[in-house]
Chains A and B, each alone.
Chain A
Amino acid sequence: MIDPRIQLKNRHLAAVLAFLIPGAGHAYQGRWFKAAIFSSFVLGLFFWGMSLGEWQVVYARFSTSDQVPGRSREKTIGYLSQVAVGLPALPALIQSQRYARTSSDERAGEPDEFPMQMTPFNGSVKIDSAAGHWEGPVSGQLDLEFKEGPFGKEIQGVLKVQEPADHRGQELTLAGNVELGPRLAASAALVASRDFGPPNSAYSSTRRAFKSRIIEQRNQFASPVGEIQGSIPRKFWDWYQVPLQDDALQDLNRRLGRRYEIALLFTWIAGLLNVLAIWDAYEGPAYGYGDESESPDGSPTPSTDVPANAVAMADKVPAGT
């Protein structure tokens, strides 16, 4: 029986709110102290774990594809506890569906990504042309489109150079063999290649590898004169809670070591703790209000003054609540 001093209001709604946002169900019930504890500690633990794991420890993978190279066949059982944190972990379900729909190798980019305008690029350039030799770091803005080339559809575009200053304003024409890192990836190698990068190559969530030839028009023919290699940004929604590929997972384990396991543990336990919070929002505290007299072993024992106290408090509760 629930202590009459505890107002659960609509307990079903409270449980749903407690699931969606830890502490929200208790806030709805006016149980502010518990709302503060559940929200700060459950969410704190969850996001601390996410941060320790470089925001790549929460993802869902329930369907496996044996045909896709590089994709793990293991299913993420741990997500079943992470998802109890509610909204912060739910994007993983959508990302899992998006991930399952993608083809095996999106490294050349997807046609619906184009045209790609004013995309910031950082990397290096190497050119040997009639105008001279230029080799070194370069940054600028990429304008890319997917259009008909001499051998079918391909990515073409222009890099408008911003740095270094002595080349500012120069436009480099890009075409042929454009290589782009995967659009949807929690983390991927910053090596633009159709094969997976070497084990020690850098990985990134927020950057996509980009590599292209630079061409110049000579006698009505396009001739390659050099190449640029570097990276462009990956959108937040294209990496957050997206399932990790095998190579990215290995990279994360290699760099973080046991910190990765601690990160997983924090997110798992945050979810499990929120199950207690959800149940508390639905059913009230398991042992009672807490002002009962305490037995020597710490467990509450009913005392004679509790019912009287409860009745006295119940009288103060407005009717109909």
Chain B
Amino acid sequence: MLLATHNLLWYLLPLTLAISLVYSASRYEAPSRILRRAFQLFVQITLFLGVVFVLLLVLSDGL
């Protein structure tokens, strides 16, 4: 069950990538700037999700 849940979490990566790229593309015009900001945003969101995931995993230990 836990494994199945983890597998579903992989879907968040392409979702995050799409959000980062489209959001950054709506902020800037220069391709290099769009790609750079999209990469930064992708890393930020992924790190945030990762921290929340680990936090919840630790808190749910033993439940």
Contacts and interface: CB of A to CB of B under 8 A. Distances in A.
Interface of A: 3, 5-6, 31, 33-34, 37-38, 41-42, 44-45, 48, 257-259, 262, 265-266, 269-270, 273, 276-277, 279-280, 284-291, 298, 300
B18 A269 contact: yes
B25 A291 contact: no
A45 B17 CA distance: 10
B53 interface: no
Contact of A287 (B8, B11, B18, B28): B28
B5 A258 contact: yes
Given A270-B18, A273-B18, A290-B28, 20 more contacts: A6-B29, A31-B29, A33-B31, A37-B25, A41-B17, A41-B22, A44-B18, A45-B15, A45-B18, A48-B14, A257-B4, A258-B4, A262-B11, A266-B11, A269-B19, A276-B26, A279-B26, A285-B28, A288-B29, A290-B34
B45 interface: no
Q: Is the interface of A mostly helix, strand, loop or mixed?
A: helix
Nearest to A276: B26
B29 A277 contact: no
A273 B30 contact: no
Q: Closest 4 A-B residue pairs measured CB to CB?
A: A290-B33, A290-B28, A290-B30, A276-B26
B8 A298 contact: no
A303 B31 CA distance: 19
B21 interface: yes
A38 B34 contact: no
A276 B29 contact: no
A132 B24 CA distance: 73
Q: Is the interface of B mostly helix, strand, loop or mixed?
A: helix
A286 B8 contact: no
Nearest to A258: B8
Contacts of B28: 285, 287-290, 300
A280 B15 contact: no
A256 to B, nearest CB: 11
Contacts of A259: 8
A7 to B, nearest CB: 11
A273 B22 contact: yes
Contacts of A34: 25, 29, 34
Contacts of B14: 45, 48
A85 to B, nearest CB: 12
B8 A276 contact: no
Contacts of A45: 14-15, 18
Nearest to A270: B18
Contacts of A284: 29
Given A258-B8, A262-B8, A290-B34, A285 B18 contact: no
Contacts of A289: 28-30
Contact of A276 (B11, B22, B31, B40): B22
Contacts of A266: 11, 15
B29 A3 contact: yes
B26 A290 contact: no
